[in-house]
Amino acid sequence: MKVLPGAIDCDIHPTIPETAALLPYLSEYWRDQFIIRHIDRYPFTLASYPPNSPLSCRPDWRPETGLPGSDFDGLRRQALDAFGVKYSICNVLHGSIALFNEDMGAALCAAVNDWTIDNLLDKDSRLRGSILLPTQNPDLAVKEIERLASDHRFVQVTMLAMGDALAGGRRYWPIYKAAEKHQLTVGIHAGSTFRHAPTYSGWPSYHVEDYIANGPAFENVLVSLIAEGVFQEFPGLKVVCAESGVTWLPTLLWRTNKEWRGVRAEVPWIERAPADIIRDHVRFTIQPFDLPAGDAVKLQRILEHIGSDSVLLYASDYPHWHFDGEESLPDGLPDRLMQKLLNDNALETYPRLSQQGNIPAKRLNGENLQ
């Protein structure tokens, strides 16, 4: 099924072509460090997406040279023009978030976000941004949010599903407070900084297992958000699970509902069924859907099991390889869902998409940081 023009694509992955491109956005100190230590000579690709792996880039989207997603003209043609999107939300998944040095991580994240403004948001009015957060240090992450919140083109903040700690943990609450205040959606994206083994039995042998582990990881992320009471504490918060898979969701709803009734006394701030809380606060991009191709009947049943028309968000996940040609929608999507999936749900989930604001004056090259 082809997506209709005017859709909002909630997950694309432009990539910074090389670390050296970030040097102009770093302060003098960090620029110096990067050059002396040769940090600028190596990429910051997340281990979750080996650049040459089939999943990381569809063959006809792979640039002749450089990293997947690094060719801006290609991205425009292939991700924006080809699908006729109204907006595409950029998730620049940069490895600054995997560094242990919190200051370096935060400085580099800020450079990534500034690069995003100059090279993406300023270059095509269809593009919207996600503030990459140095979650290694939540206070520095909040600083980054406050620094950029006035630019309405940032509609989201980005964290990975598997980082230092489960997303619901209180250490992250300053981030959620800031996000809620600025109506920024919290985008939790598939991937890991591998601080922990991806499974409770340790380290799998294969990349394919690591990728598959994202599904169960998101289940645990959602149970964490529910159990810790994040949505009681921050009732205005919206969370998007990006590239999480979709078909595991009914099990999560059913199991947490049942669990809650028995363990309620442990987490008494949960005042209504977890499935209802999730339907109100959490959204899921549809790439990958995790359903056999062409199975319209199963799709209908899964939608029924999920029990809400409002939780799914259209996404291509460009340039990751989930579909061929322009067949970015699962077969058998009911007509009644199209408008919501392609447009309305995104507008409701990302309030800042509808905001018109001043675009702040350009920053000096990193000089006002650190």
Q: Which of residues 199-258 bind other proteins (CB under 8 A)?
A: 199-209, 211-213, 215-217, 219-221, 223-224, 226-229, 232-233, 245, 247-248, 250-251, 253-258
CA separation, residue 133 to residues 64, 144, 166, 346, 347 (Å): 30, 7, 15, 21, 23
Nearer to other proteins, 133 or 253 (CB): 253
CB of 39 to other proteins, least distance (A): 27
Nearer to other proteins, 21 or 165 (CB): 165
Region class of 69: left (phi > 0), else alpha (psi between -120 and 50), else beta:
left
Among 1, 35, 82, 165, binds other proteins (CB under 8 A): 165
CB of 165 to other proteins, least distance (A): 5
Strands 8-12 and 87-90: parallel
Closest to 165 (Cα-Cα) out of 220, 204, 110:
220
Q: Assess 192 for contact with other proteins (CB under 8 A).
A: yes
Cβ partners under 8 Å of residue 212, min gap 6: none
CB of 235 to other proteins, least distance (A): 10
Q: Residue 282 phi/psi, 5° resolution?
A: -120, 140
Contacts of other proteins in 271-290 (CB under 8 A): 273, 275, 288, 290
Nearer to other proteins, 44 or 321 (CB): 321
Nearer to other proteins, 164 or 331 (CB): 164
Among 259, 280, 331, 348, binds other proteins (CB under 8 A): 259
Cβ partners under 8 Å of residue 270, min gap 6: 226, 227, 229, 232, 260, 264, 277
Nearer to other proteins, 108 or 166 (CB): 166
Q: Residue 292 phi/psi, 5° resolution?
A: -60, 140
Nearer to other proteins, 25 or 218 (CB): 218
Q: Assess 166 for contact with other proteins (CB under 8 A).
A: yes
Given the rule CB under 8 A, which of 26-34, 156-164, 331-339, 362-370 is the region that contacts other proteins?
156-164
Contacts of other proteins in 36-55 (CB under 8 A): 53-55
Residue 267, class by beta-carbon neighbours within 10 Å (0-12 exposed, 13-18 middle, 19+ buried)? middle
Q: Are 79 and 319 in contact (CB under 8 A)?
A: yes
208 vs 108: CA distance, rounded Å: 29
Nearer to other proteins, 61 or 260 (CB): 260
* 294's tokens: 């062409």
Q: Assess 180 for contact with other proteins (CB under 8 A).
A: no
CB of 195 to other proteins, least distance (A): 7
Given the rule CB under 8 A, which of 65-73, 99-107, 296-304, 330-338 is the region that contacts other proteins?
296-304
347 vs 366: CA distance, rounded Å: 33
Q: Assess 29 for contact with other proteins (CB under 8 A).
A: no
189 vs 91: CA distance, rounded Å: 8
Q: Please tell me the count of residues contacting other proteins according to CB under 8 A.
A: 80
Could you count the other beta carbons within 10 Å of the beta carbon of residue 259? 15
Contacts of other proteins in 96-155 (CB under 8 A): none
x/- map, 64-93, other proteins, by CB under 8 A: ------------------------------
CB of 93 to other proteins, least distance (A): 16
Q: What is the 3-state secondary structure (H, E, C) of 78-105?
A: HHHHCCCCCEEEECCCCHHHHCCCHHHH
Contacts of other proteins in 308-367 (CB under 8 A): 321
| Radius of gyration from C-alpha coordinates of the chain | 20
Cβ partners under 8 Å of residue 29, min gap 6: 370
CA separation, residue 341 to residues 319, 335, 347, 354 (Å): 20, 10, 10, 17
Nearer to other proteins, 10 or 166 (CB): 166
Given the rule CB under 8 A, which of 1-9, 68-76, 83-91, 263-271 is the region that contacts other proteins?
263-271
Q: Assess 196 for contact with other proteins (CB under 8 A).
A: yes
